[in-house]
Amino acid sequence: MAFTKKNEEAVSPVIGVILMVAITVILAAVIAAFVFGMAGNVSKTKIVAVTAGRDNGNAANISVTNQGGQDASRLNNLQVQIAGAVAGNLTSSVGNSQSYVAGGTNKHVVVVGEFNDGTSQVLLDTYV
């Protein structure tokens, strides 16, 4: 009876080389991301709550209220847009509310906050 011997000596070194190459490629990608600044361009989301609803006194009007939040002190201005047009500005004081003439139903309301660091962010995007 003849026995054949399998040669499995090269399996372990081949797997080791593959793992070393993979680790080197991943490490090079991480270093390149930091060197070229790809990881540093993420801006922090500001937290300010704004609500919009139909005005109790007049259903044709939309009332927008600044509810405040963690970044309310950094807020310079709130720009209110109704149905794609700028309806006006709401002051940055917490609790301030303003009514805007909208007419009709299901109006698209967008409120953009402008902050003292020069950034702006959409704080509310809803239909009223």
Break the chain into its structural domains and give their ranges.
9-42, 49-127
Residues 64-91 pLDDT 10s:
999 989 998 899 889 999 988 898 888 7
Predicted pLDDT at 104 = 77
More confident residue, 28 or 13: 28
Tens digit of pLDDT for each residue in 17-58?
Answer: 899 999 999 999 988 887 877 656 667 888 999 999 888 767
Average pLDDT over residues 4-17: 73
Residue 37 structure tokens: 């600044």
Residues near 110 by beta carbon (within 8 Å), at least 6 away in sequence: 80, 81, 122, 124, 125
Name the pLDDT band for 1 (thresholds 50, 70, 90): low
Mention the CATH class of domain 49-127.
mainly beta
What are the phi and psi torsion angles at 21 (to 5°)?
A: -65, -45
What is the spatial distance between Cα 63 and Cα 51, in angstroms, rounded to a whole number?
Answer: 8
Token pair in block for residue 54: 């139909």
CA distances from residue 101 to 3, 38, 53, 93 in whole angstroms, order as listed? 94, 45, 12, 21
Q: For the segment 100-126, what is each residue's pLDDT rounded down to a tens digit?
A: 888 777 889 999 999 998 889 999 999
